[in-house]
Amino acid sequence: MIKVGIIGFGKMGRVRYDAVNQNGQGCVVAIVDAERVLNVPNMHRYASPDALIADPGVEAVFICTPNYLHKGLTIQALQAGKHVFCEKPPTFNVSEMEEVLAVEQVADGKKLMYGFNHRYHDSVIKAKELVESGVYGRILWMRGRYGKSVDESFYNNWRAKKELAGGGILMDQGIHMLDLFLTMGGDFDEVQAMVSSLYWKLEVEDNVFAILRNRSTGLVASLHSTMTQWRHLFSFEIFLERGYIVINGLLTQSGTYGEEIMSVAKNRTSAPAAMWSDEDHIRFKVDNSWKYEVNHFFNAIVEDKAIEVGTSLDALKLMRLIEKVYEQQ
């Protein structure tokens, strides 16, 4: 059994705690934020991350804290000889991510994985299989819209403060959509963006419009990430030479993004190339993403295999894109 310590026991800490327990290969033996846990026997409750990381009985650390703590705790835990699973964003910028990579390279084979959870949704896994099958040809373009609504209570949230969050809606939700672009389309070397606070007038942005292009393939991806989407929305569209794949809605704990539905159609021989009646619809009823993600992390540890999804190199690519977006605000 992999002995796990969780730093930060808010919403994400509890999600990871449940996923570890369901997995069967690990058990949570230590936490920080102990006052939030009731009736959990045989567990060390630490007042500080330092104490948990120093515990020789902890083999793997899950970092589920506000963003500004991610880089430092990741480095500290790796240097202490722990495997590390860290929520997004990995860091605030590229140079910080390079610091983490340098530590990982001398961490004696300890595994480092980042919580790019959307890659593990069944709809995304199915979409990637369809893309890689070649049946629909190469990707021509992608479009992602990811938005939510907040209220004035958000002003009191650490996510509204740049020094704690590193950024606004791009760091919160847009980062997931950018990661999906990378998952499906490879890297991008050109970014044009508009970053603004249209409504909430916070230290951090509430809207990002970005266009990304891979010069060598011509693939273009369009992102709108927003916290002025008064009805929560998730929409990920992939248009290929011989058809399209569209994911609308996302299974979440809150249920505010609606059903997770994939629509797929192949081109016909006459225009219009596809009709609504040509679409096949797949409805996903269960969110397996948290389970799949922890399974991958634990399997890499137990079998001493490389992390394949959510690697530090994935994180570096992502931070390069985010840095290019923020450079244009």
pLDDT digits 0-9 by tens, 100-122:
999 999 999 999 999 999 999 99
State pLDDT tens for residues 246-284. 999 999 988 999 999 999 999 987 888 888 888 999 999
Rounded CA separation 53/175 (Å): 28
Does the residue 327 lie in any domain?
Answer: no
Residues shown for the chain: 329
Residue 176 has pLDDT above 80, yes or no: yes
Query: Do residues 226 and 108 share a domain?
Result: no
Residue 8 has pLDDT above 70, yes or no: yes
Rounded CA separation 32/35 (Å): 9
Does the residue 95 lie in any domain?
Answer: yes
State pLDDT tens for residues 20-63. 999 999 999 999 985 655 566 778 999 999 999 999 999 999 99
pLDDT of residue 83: 98
pLDDT of residue 82: 98
Rounded CA separation 272/289 (Å): 36
Cα–Cα distance list, 277 to 123, 137, 141, 204, 273 (Å): 21, 21, 23, 43, 12
The CATH number of residue 299's host domain is 3.40.50.720
Lowest mean pLDDT among 45-49, 128-132, 178-182: 45-49
Does the residue 316 lie in any domain?
Answer: no
Q: How many domains does the chain divide into?
A: 2
Query: Do residues 261 and 129 share a domain?
Result: yes
pLDDT of residue 329: 79
Query: Do residues 6 and 149 share a domain?
Result: no
What DSSP letter does each residue of 248-264 carry, written as one string?
E----SS-TT--EEEEE
Q: How many helices (H) and strands (E) does the chain have?
A: 10, 14
Query: Do residues 182 and 158 share a domain?
Result: yes
Does the residue 137 lie in any domain?
Answer: yes
Nearby residues of 219 by Cβ (< 8 Å), 6 or more positions away: 139, 140, 141, 142, 185, 186, 188, 213
Task: Pick 97 or 329 by higher pLDDT.
Answer: 97
Peptide bond into 41 cis (omega under 30): no
Domain interval for residue 234: 122-250+252-285
Does the residue 323 lie in any domain?
Answer: no
Element (H, E) at 293: helix 289-302
State pLDDT tens for residues 182-226. 999 999 999 999 999 999 999 999 999 999 999 999 999 999 999
Query: Do residues 129 and 146 share a domain?
Result: yes
Rounded CA separation 179/138 (Å): 19
Query: Do residues 69 and 127 share a domain?
Result: no
Closest C-alpha to 207, from 222, 228, 191: 228
Cα–Cα distance list, 200 to 118, 159, 196 (Å): 27, 13, 10
| Alpha-helical segments (H) within 55-205 | 70-79, 94-105, 122-133, 162-165, 169, 175-185
Does the residue 326 lie in any domain?
Answer: no
Query: Do residues 49 and 154 share a domain?
Result: no
pLDDT of residue 274: 85
pLDDT of residue 79: 98
Query: Do residues 97 and 20 share a domain?
Result: yes
The CATH number of residue 156's host domain is 3.30.360.10
Does the residue 319 lie in any domain?
Answer: no
Query: Do residues 222 and 152 share a domain?
Result: yes
Rounded CA separation 84/76 (Å): 10
Asked if 90 and 103 touch (Cβ cutoff 8 Å), the reply is no
SS3 299: helix
Query: Do residues 132 and 31 share a domain?
Result: no
pLDDT of residue 289: 97
pLDDT of residue 37: 58
Task: Write b or e for each residue in 267-304: b if 16 or more Cβ atoms lie within 10 A of its Cβ, otherwise e.
Answer: beeeeeebeeeeeeeeebeebebbebbbbbbbebbeee
Query: Do residues 126 and 275 share a domain?
Result: yes
* C-alpha torsion sign, points 282, 235, 220, 293: negative
Query: Do residues 157 and 279 share a domain?
Result: yes
Q: Say how many C-beta atoms besides its own lie within 10 A of residue 173's C-beta.
A: 21
Residue 140 has pLDDT above 80, yes or no: yes
pLDDT of residue 35: 61
User: Region 7-21: what's the mean pLDDT?
Assistant: 94
pLDDT of residue 161: 97
User: Region 68-87: what's the mean pLDDT?
Assistant: 98
